[in-house]
């Protein structure tokens, strides 16, 4: 296609001094500075100022402990099974007491996680929750694989405002029921 030469309009003298356009721009700036009508602020002073999250926001999955400080997770691996991007990897381990089992390794690869919430949905022990944590960053890939301790620390912070729902005392009930029947399950 042949090119068309566009003819530029010749600027007037007033325009060539740029005084009037600058003044016009300054008025707009001033209006925002003084927050006059129709100019409320839409930007946020992040990271000093944080976003108010909706109630059902799904941030990073975290692990929580029960009211007595015991690990709720029994490494049943349902979350590992259901996880669509296979972000979770668990190696179960044996512990003392009536529960018998807890994760030896519980890693979530936050680079893989798609924050779908299936893990929270499927967990039979209510041990994993979608937190409000969205600031996930690191320098290396390895750093972005969150180990068990880190997930519990995140859960601690997250659990403070009562978001991990009920303080499950399932195993206290088990032990007291058994004790009433003359059986010590804590051994």
Partner 1 sequence: MPKLTIDGKTMEVPKGATVIQAARAAGIEIPHYCWHPGLSVAGNCRICLVEVEGMPTLQIACNLLCADNMVVRTQSEKAKGGRADVMELLLINHPLDCPICDQAGECKLQEYSFRIGKDRSSFDFPKVHKPKHVRFSDKVMFDAERCILCTRCVRFCAEVAKRDELDIVNRGDRNEIAVKRGGELENDYQMNVIDVCPVGALTSMDFRFKSRVWFLENAKSVCSGCSRGCNVTVGSRWNRVLRVIPRENPHVNQWWMCDAGRFTYKGNDADTRLGAPMIRKNGALAECSWDEALDAAAKGLRDAGADLLALVSGRLTNEEMWLAKDVLAHLGTPHRDVKPRAFAKDDFLRTGDGNPNSRGAALLGIAPGTGGSGLTSLGSRAFRGAALFGEDLDDRPEALEALSKCGFVLVVGSHETETSRRAAHVVLPGVTPFEKDGTYVNVSGRVQRLARSVIAPGEAWPDWKILGALRARLTGAPAPRTPADAFAEMCAASPAFSGLPWNGLGEHGADARTPEPAGAAR
Cα separation, 149 vs 65, in Å, equals 11
SS3 label, residue 91 = strand
Q: Does 92 bind partner 1 (CB under 8 A)?
A: yes
Total residues at interface with partner 1 (CB under 8 A): 23
Give the binding range for partner 1 (CB under 8 A) out of 15-23, 60-68, 93-101, 129-137: 93-101
Nearest approach in angstroms of CB 115 to partner 1 is: 23
Query: 43: which strand partners?
Result: none
Q: How far is CA 49 from CA 40, 43, 93, 101, 105, in A?
A: 17, 10, 42, 42, 35
Q: Is the dihedral of CA 43, 46, 48, 53 positive or negative?
A: positive
At 26, list the tokens: 């300054």
List phi, psi (to 5°) of 133.
-80, 120
Site for partner 1, residues 49 to 78, rule: CB under 8 A: 74-78
Nearer to partner 1, 99 or 130 (CB): 99
Q: Which of 11, 18, 84, 100 binds partner 1 (CB under 8 A)?
A: 100
Binding mask 14-53 for partner 1 (x = CB under 8 A): ----------------------------------------
- Closest separation in Å from C-beta 92 to partner 1: 4
Q: How far apart are the C-alpha atoms of 101 and 104, rounded to whole Å? A: 9
CB 113 within 8 A of CB 146: no
Using the minimum distance from each CB to partner 1, give the nearer residue, 92 or 117: 92
Does 82 bind partner 1 (CB under 8 A)? Our answer is: no
Give the footprint of partner 1 on this chain (CB under 8 A). Answer: 74-78, 80-81, 92-94, 98-101, 124-125, 174, 177-178, 180-181, 183, 185
């Amino acid at each position: 296609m042949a090119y068309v030469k566009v003819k530029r309009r010749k600027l007037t003298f007033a325009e060539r001094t740029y005084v009037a356009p600058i003044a016009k721009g300054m008025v707009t700036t001033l209006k925002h500075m003084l927050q006059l009508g129709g100019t409320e602020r839409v930007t946020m002073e992040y990271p000093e100022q944080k976003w108010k999250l909706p109630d059902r926001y799904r941030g990073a999955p975290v692990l929580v402990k029960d009211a007595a400080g015991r690990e709720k997770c029994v490494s049943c691996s349902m979350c590992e099974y259901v996880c669509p991007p296979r972000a979770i990897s668990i190696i179960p381990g044996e512990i003392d007491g009536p529960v018998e089992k807890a994760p030896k390794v519980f890693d979530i690869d936050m680079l893989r996680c798609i924050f779908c919430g299936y893990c929270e949905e499927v967990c039979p022990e209510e041990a994993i929750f979608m937190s409000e944590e969205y600031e996930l960053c690191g320098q290396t890939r390895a750093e972005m694989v969150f180990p068990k301790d880190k997930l519990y620390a995140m859960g601690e912070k997250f659990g403070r405002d009562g978001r991990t729902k009920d303080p499950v005392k399932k195993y206290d009930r088990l032990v007291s029921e058994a004790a009433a029947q003359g059986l010590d399950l804590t051994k």
